[in-house]
Amino acid sequence: MSAEFGVERAEMLLREWTSNESLVKHGLAVACCTEGYGVREAARLGLHDEEAARFAELYRCAGLLHDFDYDRHPTPQEHPFVGVTFLREQGWPEEILHAILAHADYSGVVPETHLDKALFASDELAGFLTACALVKPRKAIAEVEIASVKKKMKDKAFARAVKREDITRGAELLGIPVEEHIGNCLRAMQEHAAELGLVGVTG
């Protein structure tokens, strides 16, 4: 993928189109999770070095761009269709556009590729893990554990906007237990805690 359609450009578009910092952080969090799955899939496919890096970059870009139009066009009639139309006109790879459409269960596009499934699976979970971190005493993602995430998933009053069924369905799409899916995304976000503003407060 050329630099014109790389991670820097994707993040720039996210920030250009999004004034809500929480939405920016959500895009970054989903990107961390999807990139983690891209790295795993590249290894499974036997890709190495630059080829593996380019493969994982597709996943990160999909995460960064999946909601980039949401701040301006939040309705189901417009999101993610406005953004995808813009990206297509710009020449972004179709596999990224397909994944963005497939992450919206009302778009009529179903998750087919591994990238589609990784993005769908990561979207709601990234938001839920952020919420789990922010209720910790230090507001740190490092304090979040898989068991506590599973417990909070059963508490319908906690982060009630997060669709639990999408988290479990995402794990099913990826063919892994939900505990493994939570662990994968949790580690990815912990590795990027500073970027996500989830290192935590001191004192």
State the pLDDT at residue 202: 67
State the pLDDT at residue 152: 95
Instruction: Report all structural domains of the chain as residue ranges with CATH numbers, in order of start.
Output: 3-195 (1.10.3210)
Please write down the HEC assignment for all residues of the chain: CCHHHCHHHHHHHHHHHCCCHHHHHHHHHHHHHHHHHHHHHHHHCCCCHHHHHHHHHHHHHHHHHCCCCCCCCCCCCCCCHHHHHHHHHHCCCHHHHHHHHHCCCCCCCCCCCHHHHHHHHHHHHHHHHHHHHHCCCCCCHHHCCHHHHHHHHCCCCCCCCCCHHHHHHHHHHHCCCHHHHHHHHHHHHHHCHHHHCCCCCCC
State the pLDDT at residue 111: 97
State the pLDDT at residue 2: 60
State the pLDDT at residue 65: 98
Q: State pTM to two decimals.
A: 0.95
Residues of the chain short of pLDDT 50, as ranges, are: none
